[in-house]
Amino acid sequence: MRRPRTHTDPDERVAPVLRDIRAVVFDTDGVITDSARVHAAAWKTALDAFLRAHPPADPAQRRPFDVRDDYLRHVDGKSRLDGAAAFLASRGLDPSEDTVRAVAADKERLFTERLRAHGVDAYPGTVRLVRALRRAGVPVAAASASRHAGELLDHAGVLDLFDALVDGGEAARLALPGKPRPDLFLEAVRRLGVPADRAAVVEDALAGVEAGRRGGFALVVGVDRAATGESGAALRHSGADVVVRDLAELVVAGESK
């Protein structure tokens, strides 16, 4: 387990936009941990191999998986099965359930190998915000469609910072539909004992931002790590109230004593 290296000021406070929020639910991949890139690389290897073996009839649809555009549009924030099906459909394919499961399983194997070989880190700005929230007495939860969320947080040394975790395993056990449905986030905030209309969701995926909006959360924060201009606009279009490049932007210095 790694301990995140981060600047910590015990006087840091949450920014005014969060002052009336009574609980915060954080997505995991790309928000808490730098694991989205590992997911994207695993998806690219698995999906490109499938496209080479089963090329679409239309040559224009044979382009490889793009780790930025295709990842954000089709798989980010979704379950493996939903992500695999969405991407293959985007290439004009109509795969069987067995084919979708096989592609998703290949991606799972590749991701697990890379995770256990290299691990992941937590974003320092996220850790600063979580600690500021905890000092303010605001409970925090982590939520993810991935069954690896707990392992990711433990590897990054931040699992103990969260009061609740709802991961892909819990979602399957409770039969929670995936994003953009809000059920995963609603279950997380339920475990914190705060209604959604007093809570915030922090997400980097378009499907996750839409889920926060559909769930009636008081605030939806979009994390735009790509910072392309188009990516921020897409987050706002999906329902983000606030868009930041890094969550340290939501931490402010304490008042001078």
Listed by start position, the domains of the chain span: 13-34+121-252, 36-118
Structure tokens at 101: 């499961």
Exactly one of 9, 11, 20, 29 is catalytic; which is it?
29
Backbone angle region of 229, left / alpha / beta, with phi > 0 → left and psi within -120 to 50 → alpha: left
Q: What is the mean pLDDT of residues 91-104?
A: 95
The region of weakest confidence among 130-134, 213-217, 250-254 is 250-254
Does pLDDT of 8 surpass 60?
no
What's the mean pLDDT when you consider all of the chain? Answer: 92
Is-contact 226 246, C-beta < 8 A?
Answer: no
Task: Report the CATH superfamily, name and number, of domain 13-34+121-252.
Answer: HAD superfamily/HAD-like (3.40.50.1000)
Bridge partners of 219, per DSSP, are: 200
Percent of the chain surpassing pLDDT 70: 95
Indicate the pLDDT class of residue 11, thresholds 50, 70 and 90: confident
Q: Which one from 27, 76, 183, 204 is the annotated catalytic residue?
A: 27
pLDDT at 142 over 90: yes
Q: What are phi and psi of 44, to 5 degrees?
A: -60, -45
CA dihedral 43→97→182→236, nearest 10 degrees, is 50
pLDDT class of 229 with cuts at 50, 70, 90 = confident
Digit-coded pLDDT (tens) for 48-85 = 999 999 999 999 999 999 998 898 889 987 889 999 99
pLDDT given for residue 6 in this prediction: 55
Comparing CA positions, the residue from 194, 196, 193 lying closest to residue 183 is 196
- Beta-carbon neighbour count of residue 139 at 10 Å? 19
77: Cβ–Cβ under 8 A, 6 or more apart, which residues? 27, 29, 145, 179, 203, 204, 205, 206, 207, 208, 211
Interior CA angle at 230 toward 225 and 232, to 5°? 45
29 is catalytic: yes
Does residue 257 have a pLDDT over 50?
no
